[in-house]
Structure 1
Amino acid sequence: MRRAVLPAAALVGALALTGCGSGAGTGADAGGASKAELSVSSAYMPQPVSPDMAAGFLTITNQGGAGDALTSVGSDVAGKVTMHSTVGGAMREKTSFAIPAHGRLVFRSGANHLMFEELKRSPKQGQHVTLKLTFAESGPLTVEMPVKSATYNPSTGH
């Protein structure tokens, strides 16, 4: 008789914990999961080889349950920063980039990238460039982008 009681008690305890977990998940979904949760990683600018233009790369991760869109980028080092996609070798300027829920937007060499135009100064390796990222739904993010060597190739491919 004792053997049957222990498994039954374990089963009741497991069901109780499962019920608590479901309730907590529902509360989280009603609160934070319906919004984008954005963070930035792998940001860098290769030291510019042109006196008036530079490129920039980064990854924006969205851990939230709703999508968002990057709508503009500004910087203290450039008169303007434009966003570009590269498909089949053709570069196209874009006015926004979607960031899916639970997804990523990657800017890397040979693909999506940022162009810093009308440089006010020529950033040198070891310095940092400040970026302000503006989104359709979320508040803006400020990012310190390190300047790397002109030939820098990150191991992550970004």
Structure 2
Amino acid sequence: MTVSPRHRALPVLGTALTGALLLTLTGCGSDSGGSGDRPDLSVSSAYMPQPVSDMAAGFLTVTNKGGAQDRLTSVTSDTAGSVTLHGTTGQTMTEVTSLTVPAHGQLVFKSGGYHLMFEKLRQQPKQGGTVTLKLHFATSGPLTVEMPVKPATYNPATGH
């Protein structure tokens, strides 16, 4: 049996169209960075100076490698009755309801700036221990953090 050149071209054309369609669909909703227009969050540099009362401060850095911002909306911990977000301007500390984690940026909690306030401590965190907390975001799933307890005078710039 002889197959005309026209009929031999149909399977090749079908394969080419299928390949082009797959390439088009594969490219939808994603860029070469893998995170596209979504937040991609991680936490580093977490620590709590050992508290001297039933309140404590906490510090950390939330890094967003993604192409969209997110908002930190709350923090929870079994160690405290409540954990609130605060900012400091001059000598004034103010509670805030949420904080933005910019796309391709960081939200930094540090002494004299944004910080976490652990109130009504259920147990007294001790130097060398850790405090478990969960960060809740508007878009991303929660992140669980093990926050080391450092000396009350700890300064991350000096490591003491």
Please indicate the TM-score interval, normalised by the length of the shorter structure. 0.7 to 0.9
The answer (yes or no) to whether the contact 2:58–2:118 under 8 Å persists in 1 is yes
Q: Residue 44 of structure 1 aligns with which residue?
A: 47
- CA contact 2:62–2:107 (8 Å) conserved in 1: yes
2:96 — aligned with what?
94
Distance change >3 Å, CA 152–CA 32, structure 1 → 2 = same
Distance 1:124 1:96, change over 3 A: same
> Mapping of 1:78-117 within 5 angstroms?
78-117=80-119
Q: Which structure has the larger Rg? A: 2
Q: Which runs of 5+ in 2 are unaligned?
A: 1-26
Offset from partner CA, 1:104-146 (integer Å, 9 cap, x none) = 0000011100000000000000000001000000000000000
Look up the equivalent residue of 2:56 and give its one-letter code: A
Task: Quote the RMSD (CA, aligned, Å).
Answer: 2.1
The letter for the 2-side match of 1:33 is G
Partner of residue 131, structure 1: 133
Q: In structure 2, how many angstroms separate the alpha carbons of the residues matched to 1:115 and 1:100? A: 22
Counterpart-to-counterpart distance in 1, 2:66 and 2:134? 20
Measured in 1, the distance between the counterparts of 2:117 and 2:50 equals 13
| Higher percent of residues as helix | 1
Q: How far apart in 1 are the matches of 2:101 and 2:130? A: 25
SS in 2 for 1:72: strand
Equivalences, count:
133
* Structure 1: gaps of 5 or more residues: 1-23
Partners of 1:42 and 1:77 in 2: CA distance: 19
SS in 2 for 1:101: coil
State the partner residue of 1:12: none
Amino acid at match of 2:148: P
* Contact 2:30 2:36 (C-alpha < 8 Å) held by counterparts: no
- TM, length-normalised to structure 2: 0.78
Query: Segments of 4+ in structure 1 off by > 3 A?
Result: none
| Structure 1 partner of 2:62 | 60
Aligned-residue offset at 1:29 = 5.6
Aligned partners of 2:68 and 2:51: how far apart in 1? 36
- The amino acid that maps onto 1:116 is F
